[in-house]
Chains A and B, each alone.
Chain A
Amino acid sequence: MTSFSAERAAKGSAGLSVLRRRGLSLRFHRRSLLVSTGLALLTGALLVLLVGSGEYPLSPAEVVEVLAGGGHAADAFIVNEVRLPRAVTGLLVGAALGLSGAVFQALVRNPLGSPDVLGFTQGAATGALAAIVLVGGGSMALATGAALGGILTGAVIYLLAWRGGAHGQRLILVGIGVAAILTGVNGYLLTRADMADAGRAVLWLTGSLDGRGWDSALPLLAVLCALLPLVVLGCGRGLRMMELGDDAAYALGVPVERVRLALLVAAVLLAAFAAAAAGPVAFVALTAPQLARRLTRASGPHLLPSLWTGAALLLAADWLAQRAFPGHLLPVGVVTGLLGGGYLVWLLARERRAGRL
């Protein structure tokens, strides 16, 4: 009977592979690993394509040659000083938003749980607007304001939603309320700004990668490097268990409240620093985890697939933004907004047909 059922179990866990050596074992979903690898390769290809395109086009081979340390001096300047920082910023922003969205959606157990809906993005915008309008600061002050605004909003929402443990549904409701209030505050701040400041503010609010240099990319890179192990290795397994409900996860030995707090802090930091680097780029955090889920066809929080989906999405959107209307450079946030908005409508229609809404 045991061998019979063991055979069944092996069949039941189809799609999962196990590596074992000396009492250690790793178990992974093959398709998820393939999807992550594929998306990482796609992201790399998009990066090369993006760096090569512009008024002074470079072939992918030339770009790769420069990235490897060779190439002409002029090419190297364009790649390393002008286009690469911008493209890397885009990649990091997409990765951070994808990961942040995956964490939020898993925590609140709702596909609508993303930093755009929960108010963190609006909070980052408030911080940035305050830096522009009230302090009149430059790009450094703006980025700091955005990061601080996002983090403060995260703390406020957590405290408001916390009652013997912050529950998913309550986080969403409180977050939507806070988002509405902050949208009002942001509108008020804009009316207080003079024309030049207001123009800068509006461009920032759309989400744009224009003129981003290494000083935008590096803080985000540092945050991502610090938080990625914490989120994926430290909390990933706990988050997976929390899909079963808080009680079941706690009963199975997950310190639910501690894991949730760590993940909320990490996701808020990721969203806040992404906003600091490129402004509140719309809908990537909402869309990437849902796309990743459909690609992997597995259960679970899909942290790494979402990260790579976000990076690929953002680079693709930036490429479109530069190419869609020749002679017109669109802010990347416009493209992600159009794509993501369309996707959201499709998602809502589908959920409604499935009777889940």
Chain B
Amino acid sequence: MATSVDAARGGTAAGSARLRGEALTLSYDGRTVVDGLDVAVPDGSFTVVVGPNACGKSTLLRALSRMLPPTAGHVVLDGDDIRGQPARRVARTLGLLPQSSTAPDGITVAELVARGRHPHQGLLRQWSPEDERVVAESMAATSVAELADRFVDELSGGQRQRVWIAMALAQETPLLLLDEPTTFLDVQHQYDVLDLCAHLHEERGRTLVAVLHDLNQAARYATHLVAMRDGRIVAQGPPAEVVTAALVEEVFRLPCRVIEDPETGTPLVVPAARRRAAV
């Protein structure tokens, strides 16, 4: 189950996992959420982290994106501790879509997406033709090009999330982390966003890491699934191997059957019918 971690530690840093956590201990206000965790993000994967509330999955993502300094251990990016690297350099390799962001008042879609170019710009290089091209491409890839002149605050939740993803795309990082990108979206937009992620992963070869709430969405879209409980990784690997009835019961305390998704052939978790005794 821990094969990819072992492989990552055995291989060269840049070889199989550019982004790794080593012996991570993570805490908020002195309360330890994750204790001594090793994790590796396989290059070229769409890694999805799942687990029940408070299992430490978002905390782990915050640590991997250097938003949360670990109390012990390191996050390693391209062989070096991420904390020692200049913020700008990291921002050209590793992008993050935070769980909540604030759009400034009166900013248009095109302007917001353009801000994703910041790590590639400088005081005397404020807007290169390259910036212009990447911003246009990012808006086209997320189907927000026709919204370019609209103000971000007048968009729907689904449109807004696509705009934020476009901004993260404009950053042009080989690694992109997404913290619960589907939360607060209605179901149709959840699948829009996930399809977009899958597209980025397949067509553009980006390595994605997302935290998701919905186990079935995770099983459908992930190429590498990490299941967490109580700050530990319980299982990881391809969804077809990881998602079993026994594991779902262990991780989510949810009795269920796992069948084949008739649409995609990936595992589909069907919770057991309510037992009267339990009510």
Contacts and interface: CB of A to CB of B under 8 A. Distances in A.
A25 B103 contact: no
B108 interface: yes
Contacts of B132: 6, 9-10
Interface residues of B, number: 52
A252 B91 contact: yes
Interface in A227-244: 233, 237, 240-241, 243-244
Interface string B105-128: 111111110111011010111111
A255 B137 CA distance: 27
A113 B112 CA distance: 24
Given A5-B140, A18-B127, A253 B148 contact: no
B139 A233 contact: no
Given A2-B136, A9-B132, A253 B90 contact: yes
Interface of A: 1-2, 4-6, 8-14, 16, 18, 20, 23-27, 109, 233, 237, 240-241, 243-245, 247-248, 250-255, 297-300
Interface string B141-154: 00001101100000
Main secondary structure of the interface of A (DSSP, over half): mixed
Interface string B251-263: 0000000000000
A298 B87 contact: no
B87 A244 contact: no
B137 to A, nearest CB: 7
Given A5-B136, A26-B126, A243-B102, A13 B118 contact: no
A94 to B, nearest CB: 25
B98 A9 contact: no
A252 B116 contact: yes
A11 B148 CA distance: 8
Contacts, number: 128
Nearest to A109: B102
Nearest to B120: A253
B48 to A, nearest CB: 19
Interface string B57-74: 000000001110000000
B140 to A, nearest CB: 4
Given A6-B133, A8-B136, A244-B101, A299 B106 contact: yes
B114 A13 contact: yes
With most chain A CB atoms within 10 A of its CB, the pick from B67, B104, B119 is: B104
Nearest to A244: B101
With most chain B CB atoms within 10 A of its CB, the pick from A4, A6, A18, A24 is: A6
B118 A241 contact: yes
Given A12-B109, A25-B128, A244 B148 contact: no
B192 to A, nearest CB: 19
B124 A24 contact: yes
A240 B95 CA distance: 18
